[in-house]
Chains A and B, each alone.
Chain A
């Protein structure tokens, strides 16, 4: 390689190894893992500088676990988990419950009627809507709005939120450290006794969420079209927010049934990072979460994406500037090839000195941006290596596609430089230190590894695997996976009007 700074590599690499071994040991020393009898795994990391703690707990359930007709239900349920319990969010649950039941019956009827489209009974729809509005008003007399948020806010909580992805659903909150019991009470109640009140209003919020975060965002719409083409059988082709028709028609019963299947303590990992002492925290966790009944193992996803046998191309037209995505099927963790793709994506687009940024942004100035991902859209199942780029006017998607493919071809025959490889390894090692700067960042990482791969320590082992990746490995992988028949290409094309 033409760069003139190879002298750094020896010294830097030696020093890095020393410092990172120390960090790895540090982290292991600070971690306590406690598994409850019901299967709930709880990870504690002690960090006592500031009197706060951050928590994430995740369930191994996401859009990939949905079936046609109810896409988006994992995400919709995540919204519903903020609506309270028989104790939280209501002034009188016994009076509220019958109204809720009626409202759910009407809501379901309305959803089914609307599905009939032109053949729907308009009078019935109007009547259903009026009834729903009336029941809504009646229920409101008992609803204590968003009380979980209110309780945490008053306690000084920040960042109350949740996220749903293809692979998992996660819930977040950070609190002052004298509120650990409050956390245990609220979260155990939510898990055990969630009441899905105001379901049909929240469904309407999610309809707006889809419009705001997908339909009005050209890159998201492109991504949706891309995934739907790349996976013809496997549910990785589901948009996490769901298809509009499914959000419009999913019912409360379907959301509840989904919850019952997947929201079990044995399908959950909780990580708590901050000013907390496990010795005193574990008894509280046992007290509040111990009686959360274990469930049966979630169903096994049987569908396997068949081998792709020819290039697929998609066009999405919008009132927006062009973009493109190119993806290739690949295996996931624990395949060694997965780690090699982590290295490839870093070498290609991570930083201004990366191969694609140097050539296409700085040198040829063909693109405004270029990014790679090695695990689209998740990593529980075989996934995609993906490149995304935005051409710089007057350059076109076609030109950029050719340039990207030429670089992938080059990876097959020209070994990447030692310094480029070492750079990726250095970056990984430094990021292992940097992730420990933030309670929430660390909680996110450990939850992910424990939940998806079964042991948080795989996070520490990633470094070893990546350190073993060679220039030859990259060529072998490039040859095996970067073939036209394994490729899906999607274009965002500006509407001609």
Chain B
């Protein structure tokens, strides 16, 4: 059981009768301490199908709906550079191309008539296939769902169509300055590694139907697949329907390709790309940490204090709220497959952007040199602890959370121990991880905008290297 406590007070419901006093303005701290919540988050039931598929099931009878989500390793980090875009194409055509027993267009018509969805995507590291339907359609939809996973047809016409769509998004991916800054940052930080291959018209042209079939076969197998299922059905119903839908699917036992370890190459350079834009779009950072790093809880508190989503985070407080230099600025150190990333991103007022960038550097220094005040630490920890219950607000997400947790290699009691781990984080911890994982000397800064509008030359912050993004954009569009 998890108990939620708090420094700020608000005793819900029992206090109503004492509230008849004049309701003069008061501060929330004058409210009485609330009764702690007690809540045991539901856990999915786990079982294994005959062919080895692992299932995470959670009953949810509130509405006549069923949700399914399968996750498995497989994504763009396993592409070859000459085939960049293969993962995305494979995921997309698995669904749009239909299966060996139903065409993609018929699948569209049938599912949409039932107000149901089946979708497949292959991201950077994981593939995900989801379905959602009304309870009454479950048996048909689960059959279509399994068919898409096991027997995609990959017809050439749908591959060509998906390639054409991707080529168009390659043309359009530079349309917004903030997106351009993101692409240029990835190129500098990870270009040429499996985490940084970028699909271009040329790499798409090189991809064949055989490539898609082989890529699908390399990852989609029962032993790799974990299915989360929740909704208006019993464990027995779920199990029987899944057994039937996936019957006869055989395991292929290819091992996952090994990835080369990433090397830090950030060296403090400022990369500037000219663009006639109203603001300066910036991305700052270097590599982060590998998943399952024992410092993750401490970093979670540090991130929340430094660059979290709320206005209480330091970056937002100083650069937006105190100075009015941006609409938003966020960042932190995050865990990933190999190294994860340390990253800060924002769109800054052009005529004060160098001031803001210098301030970001200074604020990282402050976090490294001065312990965070106790009140700031407490608010952040209370926020993470008291808000933890929202992780479990959507029952359909719970099986997926447990699957992802297992695939990412976290211990099974990860969610049970979260609150006590956050409670133990100290001001010293925050300072330590800030020193250990953020390096202002190494971090690179990508700026997209018009330097003529800036308050000072970027060179006042360090060594600047110009990038002609239009050249990159043009070469991305070329098939040769």
Q: Are B347 and A211 in contact (CB under 8 A)?
A: yes
Say yes or no: is B101 at the interface (Cβ < 8 Å to chain A): no
Q: Report if A321-B171 is in contact (Cβ < 8 Å); known contacts: A50-B393, A422-B113.
A: yes
* Most B CB within 10 A of own CB, among A5, A153, A291, A419: A153
How far, in Å, is A131 (CB) from chain B's closest CB?
A: 17
Say yes or no: is B12 at the interface (Cβ < 8 Å to chain A): yes
Q: Are A87 and B176 in contact (CB under 8 A)?
A: no
Q: Are B6 and A154 in contact (CB under 8 A)?
A: yes
| Chain A residues, Cβ within 8 Å of B472 | none
Say yes or no: is B471 at the interface (Cβ < 8 Å to chain A): no
Pick out which of these stretches binds chain B: A15-23, A104-112, A225-233, A333-341: A15-23
How far, in Å, is A200 (CB) from chain B's closest CB?
A: 8
| Chain A residues, Cβ within 8 Å of B328 | 212
Q: With the chains together, A391 CA to B286 CA distance in Å?
A: 37
| Residue-wise interface mask of A (298-342) relative to B, using a CB-CB cutoff of 8 A (1 in contact, 0 not) | 000000000000000000000111000000000000000000000
How far, in Å, is B281 (CB) from chain A's closest CB?
A: 8
Which B residue's beta carbon lies closest to that of A86?
A: B25
Say yes or no: is B254 at the interface (Cβ < 8 Å to chain A): no
Cross-chain contact of A49 among B9, B62, B178, B378 (Cβ < 8 A): B62
Q: With the chains together, A447 CA to B158 CA distance in Å?
A: 42
Q: Are A212 and B389 in contact (CB under 8 A)?
A: no
Provide the main secondary structure of the chain A interface.
helix
Q: Report if A288-B23 is in contact (Cβ < 8 Å); known contacts: A201-B322, A211-B278.
A: yes
| Residue-wise interface mask of A (140-156) relative to B, using a CB-CB cutoff of 8 A (1 in contact, 0 not) | 10000110011101111
Q: Are B39 and A156 in contact (CB under 8 A)?
A: no
Q: Are A182 and B168 in contact (CB under 8 A)?
A: no
| Chain B residues, Cβ within 8 Å of A466 | none
| Chain A residues, Cβ within 8 Å of B394 | 437-438
| Chain B residues, Cβ within 8 Å of A287 | 16, 19-20, 23
How far, in Å, is B303 (CB) from chain A's closest CB?
A: 14
How far, in Å, is A415 (CB) from chain B's closest CB?
A: 18
How far, in Å, is B260 (CB) from chain A's closest CB?
A: 35
Q: Are B317 and A145 in contact (CB under 8 A)?
A: yes
Q: Are A154 and B7 in contact (CB under 8 A)?
A: yes
Cross-chain contact of B321 among A145, A218, A288 (Cβ < 8 A): A145
Q: Are B347 and A180 in contact (CB under 8 A)?
A: no
How far, in Å, is A41 (CB) from chain B's closest CB?
A: 20
Q: With the chains together, A204 CA to B114 CA distance in Å?
A: 49
Q: With the chains together, A8 CA to B106 CA distance in Å?
A: 13
Q: Are B10 and A205 in contact (CB under 8 A)?
A: no
Q: Are B387 and A157 in contact (CB under 8 A)?
A: yes
Q: Are A426 and B114 in contact (CB under 8 A)?
A: yes
Q: Report if A154-B378 is in contact (Cβ < 8 Å); known contacts: A178-B10, A181-B11, A211-B278.
A: yes
| Residue-wise interface mask of A (201-224) relative to B, using a CB-CB cutoff of 8 A (1 in contact, 0 not) | 111111111011101111000000
Say yes or no: is A88 at the interface (Cβ < 8 Å to chain B): yes
Cross-chain contact of B349 among A153, A208, A213 (Cβ < 8 A): A208
Cross-chain contact of B12 among A174, A178, A198, A319 (Cβ < 8 A): A178
How far, in Å, is A128 (CB) from chain B's closest CB?
A: 16
* Most B CB within 10 A of own CB, among A5, A180, A213, A362: A362
Q: Are B178 and A437 in contact (CB under 8 A)?
A: no
Say yes or no: is A119 at the interface (Cβ < 8 Å to chain B): no
Q: With the chains together, A3 CA to B347 CA distance in Å?
A: 48
| Chain B residues, Cβ within 8 Å of A156 | 4, 6, 382-383, 385-390
Determine the interface band of chain B, counting residues with CB < 8 A from chain A.
35 or more
| Chain A residues, Cβ within 8 Å of B322 | 140, 145, 201
Which A residue's beta carbon lies closest to that of B24?
A: A87
| Chain B residues, Cβ within 8 Å of A149 | 310-312
Pick out which of these stretches binds chain B: A55-63, A399-407, A428-436: A428-436
Within 8 A of B (CB), among A265-288: 277, 280-281, 283-284, 287-288
Which B residue's beta carbon lies closest to that of A154?
A: B382
Q: Are B389 and A50 in contact (CB under 8 A)?
A: yes
Say yes or no: is B412 at the interface (Cβ < 8 Å to chain A): no
How far, in Å, is B106 (CB) from chain A's closest CB?
A: 7
Q: Are A3 and B26 in contact (CB under 8 A)?
A: no
Say yes or no: is B169 at the interface (Cβ < 8 Å to chain A): yes
How far, in Å, is A153 (CB) from chain B's closest CB?
A: 4
Q: With the chains together, A19 CA to B169 CA distance in Å?
A: 41
Within 8 A of A (CB), among B225-247: none
Say yes or no: is B463 at the interface (Cβ < 8 Å to chain A): no
| Chain A residues, Cβ within 8 Å of B458 | none
Which A residue's beta carbon lies closest to that of B166?
A: A368
Cross-chain contact of A204 among B31, B65, B324, B387 (Cβ < 8 A): B324
How far, in Å, is B363 (CB) from chain A's closest CB?
A: 14
Q: With the chains together, A216 CA to B278 CA distance in Å?
A: 7
Q: Are B379 and A179 in contact (CB under 8 A)?
A: no
| Residue-wise interface mask of B (360-399) relative to A, using a CB-CB cutoff of 8 A (1 in contact, 0 not) | 0000000000000000001110110111111011111000
Say yes or no: is A423 at the interface (Cβ < 8 Å to chain B): yes
Q: Are A419 and B393 in contact (CB under 8 A)?
A: no
Q: Are A353 and B389 in contact (CB under 8 A)?
A: no
Q: Report if A178-B19 is in contact (Cβ < 8 Å); known contacts: A211-B278, A211-B279, A426-B115.
A: no
Say yes or no: is A476 at the interface (Cβ < 8 Å to chain B): no
Q: Are A437 and B312 in contact (CB under 8 A)?
A: no
Q: With the chains together, A16 CA to B116 CA distance in Å?
A: 13
Q: Report if A434-B13 is in contact (Cβ < 8 Å); known contacts: A153-B310, A201-B321, A362-B161.
A: no
Cross-chain contact of A15 among B112, B136, B321 (Cβ < 8 A): B136
How far, in Å, is A274 (CB) from chain B's closest CB?
A: 9
Say yes or no: is B408 at the interface (Cβ < 8 Å to chain A): no
Q: Are B12 and A180 in contact (CB under 8 A)?
A: yes
How far, in Å, is B92 (CB) from chain A's closest CB?
A: 12
- Identify the B interface with A (CB < 8 A): 4, 6-13, 15-16, 19-20, 23, 25-28, 31, 34-37, 39, 62-65, 96, 105-106, 108-110, 112-116, 132, 134-137, 161, 164-165, 167-169, 171-172, 175-178, 275-279, 281, 310-312, 317, 320-328, 347-349, 378-380, 382-383, 385-390, 392-396
- Give me 8 A-to-B residue pairs in the complex whose CB atoms sit less than 8 angstroms apart, sorted by A's number: A155-B382, A156-B383, A185-B10, A212-B178, A287-B20, A368-B172, A422-B113, A437-B65
